[in-house]
């Protein structure tokens, strides 16, 4: 890859993920719709299947789910892409967490702090739901949707290990049912 | 009298016999080991290891750090790790916790991705990933449903929560608006409404005999 070409991809990625980092209230997955908008739609670096598989691979692997950001970067632009997206995704948010954690420690009684927590809660949860929705909607197929619904119900109502659910999805998929 | 809020910590809390990590290296290794056990999310493992196995944090402290991590942007469990590490060894502890949480899992997940890309043409592998993707969409939806139950205690009340959540969902899932725009509109409206509700609640509780 020519360096200038690489930079012309990596720099916009870096900038966009820096911004998403500060918007990712509720976790990196909450801003997945925006990553989809940019990586699949705007920049055309990966397709829908690659986007969905990135999240699946990160779920299947050990470690925090934020690593799906590195997988997205890897599929878009190799190892430099992975480091670009992951570092940009974590640098602003962890810096802010450190600063705000120290600052807010003694100020949890402030009405502004409580209003922020209470007000953002329904928005954050809706963002999570929208993320799941977009992942389902991008991959058509009745059995595919049935599998998603079954997994959602299992997470909601049972204590089945999440890895067991992922493994079941892998088996069902490998057999060619979805 | 009976409606008085429980403003002081419950006296039934067991006395804390907490321990401390011996060094930043201890923090690094502990967070690495717990991250490696966390398939499909690390939070449950983190609670088990930090509160029960290592006894570095009481449950109250864990919930407090998690609340900060959830309110702020960024991955919750990574924020929690950074805040916990910071409490023990300042920024060195924060870096140790972050590095432990990320480095080895990153190498593993990238190796898995490279493997996947080599075998992506094999129908069974592509199918397996499709199935896993369907399930992980379900995991996210299921988690959202579970978390929605926590809104019952919201000062906004269930109706406003449903309205604000529904509006947010529609803006993102159907209209596909950029997130910044959604947070600037739905988010700020929601925070303002919550601020008003909290102020009314305070005025009522102060005005009550």
Task: Tell which wins on pLDDT, A65 or A140.
Answer: A65
> Which pLDDT does position B169 carry in this prediction?
94
B117 touches chain A (CB under 8 A): yes
The SS3 assignment for A25 reads strand
Q: Are A66 and B75 in contact (CB under 8 A)?
A: yes
pLDDT over threshold 60, residue A164: yes
Q: Rounded CA gap, B3 and B19, in Å?
A: 37
B161 touches chain A (CB under 8 A): yes
Q: Rounded CA gap, A115 and A49, in Å?
A: 39
In a domain, A31, yes or no: yes
A43 touches chain B (CB under 8 A): no
In a domain, A147, yes or no: no
Per CB-CB distance under 8 Å, the chain A contacts of B172 are: 33, 126-127, 130, 134
In a domain, A60, yes or no: yes
Distance from CA of A4 to the nearest CA of B (A): 24
User: Which range, of A148-152, B146-150, B153-157, averages the lowest pLDDT?
Assistant: B146-150
Q: Rounded CA gap, A178 and A176, in Å?
A: 6
User: Which range, of A16-25, A169-178, B66-75, B104-113, averages the lowest pLDDT?
Assistant: B66-75
Region B150-161 average pLDDT:
86
> Which pLDDT does position A55 carry in this prediction?
87
> Which pLDDT does position A168 carry in this prediction?
92
In a domain, A21, yes or no: yes
In a domain, A153, yes or no: no
Q: Model confidence over B76-107: pLDDT tens digits?
A: 889 989 999 998 999 999 999 999 999 999 99
Distance from CA of A5 to the nearest CA of B (A): 22
pTM, 2 dp: 0.70
A165 touches chain B (CB under 8 A): yes
Q: Model confidence over B11-53: pLDDT tens digits?
A: 334 445 889 999 999 999 999 998 987 765 677 678 778 887 8
The SS3 assignment for B73 reads strand
Give me the percent of chain A exceeding a pLDDT of 70. 96
Domain segments of chain B as ranges = 18-119, 146-209
> Which pLDDT does position B16 carry in this prediction?
53
pLDDT over threshold 90, residue B170: yes
In a domain, A172, yes or no: no
Tell me the pLDDT of chain B averaged across its residues: 83
**Residue of A144, A143, A126, A123 lying closest to A135 (CA atoms):** A144
The total number of structural domains in chain A stands at 1
In a domain, A146, yes or no: no
Q: B175 CB contacts (<8 Å, ≥6 apart)?
A: none
> Which pLDDT does position B184 carry in this prediction?
82
Task: Transcribe B146-186 into DSSP letters.
Answer: HHHGGGGG-TTHHHHHHHHHHHHHIIIIIS---HHHHIIII
Distances (CA, A) of B125 to A169, B105, B113: 12, 22, 12
pLDDT over threshold 60, residue B7: no
Region B110-132 average pLDDT:
85
> Which pLDDT does position B40 carry in this prediction?
58
Region A68-74 average pLDDT:
96
Region A63-83 average pLDDT:
94
Phi, psi of A8 (to 5 degrees): -70, -20
State the pLDDT confidence band at B199, using cuts at 50, 70 and 90.
very high
User: How far from chain centre, in Å, is Cα B83?
Assistant: 13
Testing the interface with A: which of B172, B183, B197 to mutate, by most A Cβ within 10 A? B172
State the pLDDT confidence band at B5, using cuts at 50, 70 and 90.
very low
Whole-angstrom Cα Rg for chain A: 18
Report the chain A residue with the minimal C-alpha distance to residue B93: A98
Q: A94 CB contacts (<8 Å, ≥6 apart)?
A: B74, B78, B79, B82, B94, B98
> Which pLDDT does position B15 carry in this prediction?
45
Task: Tell which wins on pLDDT, B178 or B84.
Answer: B84
Q: Are B106 and B99 in contact (CB under 8 A)?
A: no
> Which pLDDT does position B63 carry in this prediction?
67
In a domain, A68, yes or no: yes
Region A31-53 average pLDDT:
91
> Which pLDDT does position A104 carry in this prediction?
67
The interface predicted TM-score (ipTM) is 0.72
Q: State the residue range of the domain holding A36.
A: 3-108
Q: Rounded CA gap, A168 and A177, in Å?
A: 12
Q: Tell me how many residue pairs between chain A and chain B have CB atoms under 8 A apart.
A: 386
> Which pLDDT does position B9 carry in this prediction?
42
> Which pLDDT does position B49 carry in this prediction?
84
Phi, psi of B19 (to 5 degrees): -110, 175
**Residue of A37, A41, A45 lying closest to A72 (CA atoms):** A45
Q: How many CB atoms lie within 10 A of CB A164?
A: 12
Task: Transcribe A122-139 into DSSP letters.
Answer: HHHHHHHHHHHHHHHHHS
Q: Are B83 and B69 in contact (CB under 8 A)?
A: yes
pLDDT over threshold 60, residue A117: yes
State the pLDDT confidence band at B162, using cuts at 50, 70 and 90.
very high
The SS3 assignment for A96 reads helix
Please name the member of B73, B76, B179 whose beta carbon is closest to the beta carbon of A34. Answer: B179
């Amino acid at each position: 890859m020519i360096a200038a070409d690489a930079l012309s991809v990596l720099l916009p990625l870096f900038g966009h993920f820096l911004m998403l980092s500060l918007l990712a209230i509720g976790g990196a997955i909450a801003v997945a719709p925006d990553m989809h908008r940019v990586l699949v739609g705007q920049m055309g670096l990966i397709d829908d299947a690659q986007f969905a598989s990135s999240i699946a691979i990160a779920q299947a692997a050990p470690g925090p789910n934020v690593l799906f950001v590195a997988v997205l970067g890897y599929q878009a632009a190799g190892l430099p892409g992975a480091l670009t997206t992951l570092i940009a995704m974590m640098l602003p948010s962890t810096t802010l967490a450190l600063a705000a954690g120290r600052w807010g420690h003694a100020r949890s009684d402030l009405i502004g702090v409580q209003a922020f927590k209470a007000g953002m809660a329904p928005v954050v949860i809706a963002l999570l739901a929208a993320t799941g929705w977009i992942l389902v909607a991008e991959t058509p197929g009745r059995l595919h949707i049935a599998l998603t619904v079954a997994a959602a119900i299992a997470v909601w109502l049972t204590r089945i290990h999440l890895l067991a659910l992922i493994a079941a999805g892998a088996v069902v998929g490998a057999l060619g049912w979805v | 009298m009976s409606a008085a809020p429980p403003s002081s910590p419950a006296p039934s809390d067991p006395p804390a016999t907490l321990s401390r990590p011996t060094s930043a290296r201890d923090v690094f290794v502990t967070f690495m080991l717990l991250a490696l056990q966390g398939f499909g999310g690390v939070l449950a493992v983190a609670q088990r290891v930090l509160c029960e196995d290592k006894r570095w944090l009481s449950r109250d402290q864990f919930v407090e750090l998690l609340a900060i991590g959830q309110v702020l942007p960024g991955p919750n469990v990574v924020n929690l790790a950074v805040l916990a590490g910071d409490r023990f060894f300042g920024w060195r502890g924060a870096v140790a916790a972050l590095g432990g949480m990320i480095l080895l899992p990153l190498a593993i997940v990238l190796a898995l991705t490279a493997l996947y890309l080599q075998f992506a043409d094999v129908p069974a592998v592509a199918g397996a990933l499709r199935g896993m993707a369907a399930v992980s969409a379900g995991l996210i939806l299921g988690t959202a449903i579970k978390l929605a139950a926590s809104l019952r205690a919201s000062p906004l009340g269930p109706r406003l929560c449903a309205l604000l959540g529904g509006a947010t969902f529609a803006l993102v899932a159907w209209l596909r608006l950029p997130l910044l725009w959604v947070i600037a509109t739905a988010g700020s409206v929601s925070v303002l409404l919550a601020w008003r509700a909290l102020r009314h609640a305070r005025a009522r509780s102060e005005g009550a005999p």
